[in-house]
Chains A and B, each alone.
Chain A
Amino acid sequence: MYPVFYAQFLKDKRKPLLILLFIGLSILATLIFGNSAWGSKTSVPIFASGPNSEEIEQKWVKLLNKDSDTEYVISEEKTAREQVREGKRDVAILLMEKDYRLITASDMPNIQLVEHEVHKVFTEEAQLQAITGSADTAELREEIDRYLENPPLTVQTKSVNGGELTSHNMGTQLLFGFTLFIAMFTIGFKVNGINADKVSGVWNRLNLSPVSKTNMYSGHLLYSFFIGFFQMAVVFLIFDYMMNYEIGPLHIILTIAAVFTLSSVSLAMLVAGFTKTPEKFNMVYPSVIPLIPIISGVYVPPGVMDNPVFTFIADLFPLGYALEAMMDTALFGAGWSEIMLPVSLMLLIAVIYMGIGINLGERERC
């Protein structure tokens, strides 16, 4: 096993450029796409037209941005319309003295949310204006704000057990999701080395040597495991120490990552088993992998993907389990006992796929 492992390492050591590029770009991509610092606020361009447009914009931008998760940005009418037209933004808002129009070109679902929020702000302002009888509501607003600092009724959300109900954090989910997703590519790329060895004849020569089949496979797979795990560990260390994200206790997260790497190696082995040549692997693997995060619901809040067929398909892949375990650890402080179930399911997947994959790979090649 060790010589096979070492041989893989030597191959990369002699030509380090490609693997470094691969790992480097993967890490970069994870940091860019998984970085939750952006994307936390959707921004909506707003604009007014006419002679006193600036005044109108200034007035509404303050009111709209007050207690809002959406960021409303004043922009040029032309650019805003252009962006909507080209599909770069879903919606822009045309402001008027007492009214507004949503400018949109699609029926994307988040438009309703924006409309709801904007409507509320405008209605409130209209009521205040009706009371003061003038357009200047600043004073009244201040008075009401002062009253509302200590409102008669409040609502709070708590956990049934009495503690805080930790709200779900989409940013953290994307961070973990992308890290896991992109690591699958690196892992597949390395596992493909088995197919490459098989077609180049190296595999046959190894067969004749005293090295056993088990050792040949485990050497290759162990090396793929280390590369994949190394990449994820680097990403998590950067997120934890350099970018200071809350990703939970590192030792648990890394354990989950290790188990995930193991089952991803198995998944890649399964694909390698039935594709048999590195070219076919390169065709099948990258087109199937991007589907897994979609089906596993990495890009949407939990509970949204509740179609039973999809949930079933998603359960066949390790990504969903790893994500769930990591989220529970990072957000809800889950300990070893809580992550046991997803971890053991991933191990199960690892065993089954590895078995099928190696079996398929060992079949007579036609």
Chain B
Amino acid sequence: MGAFIYKDLLVFWRNRKEILMALLLPILIIVILNFAFSGLFMDEKAIHIDVAVVQEDDLKKGKEQFAAAVEAKDLSSQEKNAVLAEAARIDPVQLIHDFLNSADMKEWVTVKDLSEREAAEQVKNGELDAIIKIPEGFTDDSLSRLLLGEPSQGSVSILAEEESREVSTLQEVVHNFVNTLNMQFALGSKGFQASSEPVLPQGGKEVVEGDDGADAYTISQYFTIAICTLFALFMAQTVALKTITEKREQVFNRILLTNRHPLFFLFGKTVSAFILACMQFMMTLAAVQLLLNVFPDKTITFWVGLVLVLMAFALTVGGLSALFTALTLHLSDSNAASGISTLIIMGFGALGGSFFPLEGLPEPIQKVGEWTPNGLTQTALIEWVQYSHLNDLMFPILFLAAVFIISFAISVSIFPKRGRS
């Protein structure tokens, strides 16, 4: 049997391009993803918005218009005076300007004052992200609604070329600000006064803890595990599909003539897939850990547990490899064999969440995904990263071993028997 394992490893070793592919690709992908995603979320503050304020509303004229509107109203002069005094205090345009130029906003928003035509030009060139336009009659409209209860509204527009991260952030910020103002106005209009200081919520985060103080897992840990398991699955297919070549080049028939039990062929494939998957895990983890320090400050226990689960997964990979090998020998059409194994691998990959996260998908699909070998490994290891409870590892390891036994049993049973051509 040793000879068979040696043969399969040798076949792999002879093909350097393939080895490099199998061993370097996962490392490369993890590094790429790491940079892609760290660039994504770490420098959230790096967002910078260039915005122009186009003010078409003439403040003075607005106030005059409002004053005229008040005069025309059917109110006593005392009330009129009160309203006008109130109006003199509130300046909606100024509120918006103050907000945009406040110290908080200055850090990431640059405000310019431009005419509409100039600003539109710059938005189209991409120099500006958006325009905030305060239209004519804004002061009058908002004051009329505010103080006279008329149905008019002061409406600010955000003008942009197309939706982008900058525009949506700006939209959100301005919306929030306006909502807060409206809320204040609403309370003010009813003459409500806080009878006591509001008891503000404290909020805060509670990290779910294990007994020994758990760590939160990071997104890079998540996809390190996902990519590792996914490429191990590919490994199962790679090893098994070598059978097609061996069938084509009569290697299998020659082995049959050597008076060795043909099942040794299957054992050879299984064990070599297991060994190769293990090697792949070790190299990927070592490289990723050294390059990116994905699992910082972990104890030996953690690493032992990680290796144990991955070994169990490598066992499953061996089982799958046996299954695909037997399938290839069983089916006369080798294309069908590779097609079916591709479907199985892709199915596992997609359902197990190795290609993309499953969170948005309906519950049943997520449930199925948890029972794929890679999905289960993923869940188990994410838990292990956080809590390091040895008990949590028992079930996944047993499950993965069971998958190995079942697929190995199936492959032995469909392995071509004696007398079959």
Interface: B342 (CB within 8 A): yes
Check A286/B201 contact, CB under 8 A, given A38-B361, A105-B207, A155-B156. Answer: no
Within the assembled complex, what's the spacing in Å between the Cα atoms of A157 and B173?
13
Residues of chain B having any CB pair with chain A under 8 Å: 18, 21-22, 25, 29, 32-33, 35-36, 39-41, 44, 92, 120, 123-124, 131, 142, 145-146, 151, 153-167, 171, 174-176, 178, 181-183, 185-187, 189-190, 192-208, 214, 216-219, 222, 230-231, 234, 237-238, 241-242, 244-245, 248, 333-336, 338-340, 342-343, 345-347, 349-350, 355-356, 359-362, 365-366, 379, 382-383, 386-387
Q: Kindly provide the distance from the CB of B18 to the nearest chain A CB, expressed in whole angstroms.
A: 7
Q: Kindly provide the distance from the CB of A207 to the nearest chain B CB, expressed in whole angstroms.
A: 19
Check A282/B342 contact, CB under 8 A, given A118-B203, A152-B142, A165-B162. Answer: yes
Check A278/B335 contact, CB under 8 A, given A39-B361, A86-B382. Answer: yes
Is the pair A126, B199 in contact by a Cβ cutoff of 8 Å? yes
Partner of A303 from B165, B190, B230 at Cβ < 8 Å:
B165
Interface: A147 (CB within 8 A): yes
Q: Mark A16-44, 1 if CB is under 8 A from B, else 0.
A: 01100110010001001100001100100
Q: Max chain B CB contacts within 10 Å: which of A124, A143, A147?
A: A147
Partner of B153 from A144, A153, A283, A288 at Cβ < 8 Å:
A153
Question: Which A residues lie within 8 Å of B214 (CB)?
Answer: 105
* Interface positions of A from 267 to 292, Cβ below 8 Å from B: 277-280, 282-284, 286-288, 290-291
| Beta-carbon nearest neighbor of A84 in chain B | B208
| Beta-carbon nearest neighbor of A126 in chain B | B198
| Beta-carbon nearest neighbor of B196 in chain A | A130
Q: Kindly provide the distance from the CB of A89 to the nearest chain B CB, expressed in whole angstroms.
A: 8
Within the assembled complex, what's the spacing in Å between the Cα atoms of A196 and B244?
11
Partner of B159 from A108, A159, A283 at Cβ < 8 Å:
A159
| Beta-carbon nearest neighbor of A87 in chain B | B382
Within the assembled complex, what's the spacing in Å between the Cα atoms of A103 and B214?
13
Within the assembled complex, what's the spacing in Å between the Cα atoms of A120 and B173?
13
Question: Which A residues lie within 8 Å of B154 (CB)?
Answer: 152-154
Is the pair B145, A150 in contact by a Cβ cutoff of 8 Å? yes
Within the assembled complex, what's the spacing in Å between the Cα atoms of A21 and B106?
58
Beyond A154-B178, A193-B335, A279-B241, 4 additional pairs, beta carbon < 8 A: A107-B218, A129-B199, A166-B163, A279-B338
Partner of B183 from A94, A111, A144 at Cβ < 8 Å:
A144
Check A155/B186 contact, CB under 8 A, given A18-B340, A87-B382, A310-B36. Answer: no
Within the assembled complex, what's the spacing in Å between the Cα atoms of A25 and B351?
13
Within the assembled complex, what's the spacing in Å between the Cα atoms of A130 and B196?
5
Interface: A52 (CB within 8 A): no
Q: Kindly provide the distance from the CB of B314 to the nearest chain A CB, expressed in whole angstroms.
A: 17
| Beta-carbon nearest neighbor of A129 in chain B | B198
Binds B, one of A213-221, A294-302, A339-347: A294-302
Check A122/B201 contact, CB under 8 A, given A15-B336, A21-B343. Answer: yes
Within the assembled complex, what's the spacing in Å between the Cα atoms of A301 and B41?
13
Question: Which B residues lie within 8 Å of A154 (CB)?
Answer: 153-156, 178
Question: Which B residues lie within 8 Å of A25 (CB)?
Answer: 343, 347
Q: Kindly provide the distance from the CB of A271 to the nearest chain B CB, expressed in whole angstroms.
A: 12
Question: Which B residues lie within 8 Å of A15 (CB)?
Answer: 333, 336
Q: Kindly provide the distance from the CB of B332 to the nearest chain A CB, expressed in whole angstroms.
A: 10
Interface: A158 (CB within 8 A): yes
Is the pair B216, A123 in contact by a Cβ cutoff of 8 Å? no
